[in-house]
């Protein structure tokens, strides 16, 4: 029997992904109360399960997210409740337990959370709050590498330095000058994060102006390029960084 007064989006994943859903809740009508319930050992499941299944049954749409070798356990009950209530289920990742259930006409396989969220907005007849490049790249980092990678400011710093060095390589800046500039910078007082980020962006704009192209155009092209490549391509590149010792993250952070 389908649920009455269906509303909102129910999300299904391992509990460790709750911070990702809480962040997304600021932009999407997520009704899953489990994302605020804490660790498994803090939850009274005799009370929680009826609540979870009621929310799943009453949802208009559901987003199911699995990473790597994740196994859904109770999540399978939530998926069943959502389907029984008439919810459309968007699945991100390989839910091995679904098997032939993947053929259900209201189970839709989507490559990334970004695409699932976009589909849900369309289903709800809503316009996403923003489609600006910064939010798009943030969502992409979460989709590919996990929330831990996005929120680790030191890791973000590593990646920025790598890109700046690759830019210098394209321009023919010799390694000796890189060392000279690095030594000078690190002898000076530490600056302010917001100011330094703006300095990087403004300096890149000046370089683009000198080179005869617009930053907006090349950013749009790059966003299109990275979204056209499979997640495995970037995971493999990240593993190369891990092996080389140039990343703080191993790719296992979101599997704990």
Q: Which of 69, 101, 123 is the last residue of a domain?
A: 123
Confidence (pLDDT) at 254: 42
User: Are the CB atoms for 249 and 145 separated by under 8 Å?
Assistant: yes
| Model confidence at 179: pLDDT above 50 | yes
User: Are 152 and 222 within one domain?
Assistant: yes
Q: Which of 99, 123, 147 is the last residue of a domain?
A: 123
User: Are 106 and 162 within one domain?
Assistant: no
Distance of alpha carbon 153 from alpha carbon 31, whole angstroms: 30
**Which two tokens mark 172?**
């023919």
| Model confidence at 85: pLDDT above 90 | yes
SS3 call for 205 = helix
Distance of alpha carbon 50 from alpha carbon 52, whole angstroms: 6
Name the percent of the chain lying above pLDDT 70: 93
Min mean pLDDT across 1-5, 151-155, 172-176 is at 1-5
Indicate the pTM of the whole model.
0.56
pLDDT digit string (tens) for 197-252?
999 999 999 999 999 999 988 998 998 899 888 888 998 999 999 999 999 887 55
User: Are the CB atoms for 172 and 45 separated by under 8 Å?
Assistant: no
**Which two tokens mark 30?**
């997520």
Q: Token match 């990343």: residue? A: 247
Q: Domain of 206?
A: 133-255
> Of 6, 139, 4, nearest to 61 (Cα)?
6
User: Are the CB atoms for 60 and 87 separated by under 8 Å?
Assistant: yes
User: Are the CB atoms for 86 and 2 separated by under 8 Å?
Assistant: yes
CATH number assigned to the domain comprising residue 35: 3.40.50
User: Are 151 and 243 within one domain?
Assistant: yes
User: Are 107 and 191 within one domain?
Assistant: no
Distance of alpha carbon 191 from alpha carbon 44, whole angstroms: 47
């Amino acid at each position: 029997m389908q649920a009455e007064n269906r509303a909102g989006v129910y999300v299904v994943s391992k509990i460790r992904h709750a911070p990702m859903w809480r962040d997304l809740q600021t932009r999407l009508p997520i009704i899953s109360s489990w994302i605020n319930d804490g660790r498994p050992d803090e939850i009274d499941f005799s009370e929680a399960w009826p609540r979870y299944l009621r929310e799943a049954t009453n949802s208009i749409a559901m987003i199911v997210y699995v990473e790597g070798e994740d196994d859904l356990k109770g999540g399978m009950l939530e998926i069943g409740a959502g389907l029984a209530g008439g919810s459309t289920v968007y699945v991100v990742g390989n839910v091995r337990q679904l098997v032939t259930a993947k053929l259900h006409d209201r189970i839709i396989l989507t490559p990334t959370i970004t695409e699932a969220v976009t589909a849900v907005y369309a289903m709800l007849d809503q316009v996403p709050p923003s489609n600006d490049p910064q939010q798009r790249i943030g969502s992409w980092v979460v989709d590919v590498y996990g929330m831990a990678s996005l929120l680790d400011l030191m890791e973000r710093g590593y990646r920025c330095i790598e890109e700046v060095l690759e830019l210098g390589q394209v321009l023919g800046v010799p390694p000796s000058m890189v060392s000279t500039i690095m030594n000078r910078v690190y002898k000076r007082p530490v600056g302010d994060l917001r100011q330094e980020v703006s300095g990087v962006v403004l300096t890149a704009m000046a370089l683009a102006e000198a080179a005869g192209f617009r930053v907006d155009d090349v950013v749009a092209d790059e966003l299109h390029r990275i979204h056209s490549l499979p997640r495995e391509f970037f995971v493999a590149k990240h593993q190369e960084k891990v092996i080389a010792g140039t990343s703080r993250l191993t790719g296992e952070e979101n599997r704990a």
